[in-house]
Chains A and B, each alone.
Chain A
Amino acid sequence: MSVAPNQLDLSADKPHPGKSDVSAGLRPPERVCKLDRMGAAFPTRLSFMRLLLRRMSRERWQMKRGHFELDENGYGTAVYTAQLSDRAYSLIAFANPLADEDRTDRVIASAWDAAFVLFDGIPSQADIDRLRAQAPLQEAGRFEATDLVISRANRSLRLFEYVCDCLARGEQPEASRLNEVGYLMRTTAVYGNGKFGISDRSRIASREETQNSFQAEMLTVFLIRQFTFDQLEHIASCRAGGKPAVLAPSLKRSLGIGNATGLGMAPFVVSHPELLHHWFHARESALARVRSMEGISLDDIKRALELQQRAYQHVSEWRTSDEDYQQRNRKLLQNLLEFRHWLECAEEEQRSGKFWDVLFRRAETTFDLDGQELLCALLIEIYPEVSEGLDEMFHVHDPEPLHITETVRVTLERLDGQYDWTDDIDFSADEQNAHFWYVSENKLEPRFGRRAEEPGADQEMPVAIARDMAAFRHRLRDSDPNQSLRVFLQAYPEFRHLARRAQVLGRYPYGEIRDNLIAEGCSPLDILRFKLSFFGAAKFDPKSSLWTRITMFQGAPLMSELDQPWADDWWLSVAPQNA
């Protein structure tokens, strides 16, 4: 459906509904902290991968490959070092044989094609020898405080051998084949923050380069990407009798690192409300800045058209076997065409006002959620300066004690303001209690069960916030309003963590997902996609509502290209032409 220029509404639009006290112009939490919209998120320039690479470029990190001892099958050890002005980080890669039938992405796996450790500094031979024994064990290994991140990855059976074979024959692979998969290897877990005995986040939290969310993890994945190229070329060269076998840079750039993402991310999001708030707030602040702009130049329109074209091609190239996603992407392409039409028809008078705000409001009434969220990311991408100051927000501050001196009345008022959205949910209904989140004894794999059909609900993880907050409010309503919270919580200690959570959310209004996470129809995939979009991932390929494959750093500059002027311009990568 096309839109004639004179149908663009330049008049003051109706205000957003919302009860939260958020800064003027930000989309309120009740609008954005919803599963369906979270499940339509796209990466932005505030994504953690983008933050990392911009810093690496700006600070001129020296990247080099040191130790590299692989046999003709690519098995062995490699070390990559990122040298900063006053410290270094090193990725140590251990590649080993793995039978095809043993290759699985599940947490229950016990062997992988390669295991990795991000080491704080430059490892000695003793460090390498120690980690050679421990890294392949992953969760079952024991690590030291110098070991910042551990990860493991499996080869793409579809792509690795094909590309290797091409290079060994002196040929470049077809770009279209690369685009079908998007990666040579995919990680199945990237663990940081003190898990399994690796270094606490506190070791690196005060460092400027790792203060923000998941920077060490992103560096790990970026270096793993480089390893996949080097391993591939090494194997191909060995097969070619020692002749160089180099994958064209443009084709390399089109490859990222895949990832198989399961449920584990979702409880993290729920249990870190302050962090979640910062992620949302930064993005919404950037969007609000763009929407507040007036006097949009022709250069800005031109840039928007470039990004629209790229987004259109990116979505067109997006391969997924999920039929729902296929349908959504078809609609998304239509939205993108419509947006292009709006841009092409924009006249000077329209551009002199808050042009982007008008377009965005229009999109909110005519686009699907995917279209709206893609437009959000696109608008932020036009203006690099809108993220200024916002990319320093992604870390948690010191906690405050639970304040128990307030009355039941005050607590209830707070909860009524924060959780009124649960009023419409009948928690006595089976469909609102259909699921439970739990951890399996099998390698501690997070899982999602059906309450009426499976055992284990009495060990469920505390993720059912909507239900539990509703119960908390109900109990408060039945209590003496003048009673102190202290006395109330002594009578009902099961609500203590919720009282603390509500007080935290008073400072961080974007910190709660405003949906029932145990309801029939709840799709954990929505939480996974939201978090992954903040990582910078794209090309989501769900295998179910609990599991998705993604690609990270696809389109990103190579390790040797971080000083290029275009090094930050890789939002929503597109496939190259054949090299």
Chain B
Amino acid sequence: MSFDYLWQGFAVALTWQNLLIGFIGCFIGTLVGALPAIGPINGIALLMPIAYSMGLPAESTMILLAAVYCGAEYGGRISSILLNVPGDAGAVMTAMDGYPMAKQGRAGEALALSGISSFVGGLIGTIGLALFAPVLSGLAIGFGPAEYFVLMIFAFATLGSMVGSQPVKTLIGCVLGLMLATVGLDATSGAYRFTFAEPELGDGIEFVVLVIGLFSISEAMIILEHQGKGVTVIRELGRMTARWADLVRSTGATIRGSLIGFVIGVLPGTGASVSSAVSYTTEKRISDSEGTFGKGDVRGLASPEAANNATACGCFVPMLTLGVPGSGTTAVMLGALMLYNIQPGPMLLTERPEVVGGLVASLFVGNFILLALNLPLVNIFARVLTVPNWLLVPGILVLSVIGVYSTNASVFSIFLMLGIGFVGWLLRKAGFDMAPIILGFVLGRVMEVNLRNALAISGGDISILFGSTISIVLWIMAAGVAFLPLFLSRRAKRRMRAMTVADPALD
């Protein structure tokens, strides 16, 4: 195992251009996180095509998008604490104790303390990523097509069992994504599939079109529906620094939250909404002896905030080493790599060490930038919460149109985006999440190609899918994850569901 990639990465991340890009990303990310109307997926979906058409190199684009992702996990706490409305799905639990603190006139303290927890979580997550990426990538070099196929099965099993409260809908979302991925030219046989003789569909549905349609267009419609719920921003921030006693008191919670967050991040498909809920409930069970959780306990604030930042970093582990995204947002970033014709997988670290290393190194740098942005400047971000929707949403729509148009200058694509956005809205109304669709789409081609390659190797004998120790272990893990909810006691399950209230699609 070697960390050469990391030193090489620091050389990439510490150039002036990439430092500036990282800073801009952190700033935009914090804004995106703070605004309840847009979450990290929307932010990244809108920035990705713009970065690409500006001609940024792959590593700079990844640094930008990673900075936005981590920044959003920081920013989400601002509206949770000041509005009692989570800025993104990972910040739902932050409101449980953060908002009561704000109502007691301790908003400034809550913001400072949660900023520090975010920092610790992000740092622990990044260290975990730097350590684990080479290990996992080394293991995965032994993967053949059959093992890959089973790995995807494992990813979908995890997704179905951990994300959202309705596993059937999550899995339907995955299948819809897989189906969308089959549109276009089939490279192995030269057949056009589901293109309806439309030449613009020959290369398949563009990733940018799908992501922006599902997340931005449908989101604009949802924002309108939810508008006018009468929320008020708490303006009395009080003391702006964390108390030493509170920091000491919450240290255990922060570290436990970070570790839980990182592990959940590494699991394929499960993002910050899951990890912050699990860490909060765990912390409550461990520390809440006086029943102060939910009434402004600093430990209940620190734990989920540390967890959601650690998760954001952990999510990069499977994405960079296996090509399987750790969350909805990393699924979008995987799509961004594909825009650059970079095939993610275990070879990524050896073939493009500057991309992987640059990203990991930029996360270290970005965490310090974010801490600096989020402690003294939190007031500025808090003011952004007062930007009215009628000014904000048109901006989202303009960016959607430009984003899609800039990648291929086609009006057909914009209409396709619009159609997808409308269907996405219908699905959301019926209680579906959008993230599984994206995950299915991103994994679709890889899954099919690996299945077909595996069967080509074996001459059509499906026993190859069970032919190696790695694949048998993966099958067992998939089965284990799929049946895990059944083993959890009914009570714990019900509590978990009550906690995981918000839209898990948005992390």
Answer yes or no: are A and B bound together in one complex.
Answer: no
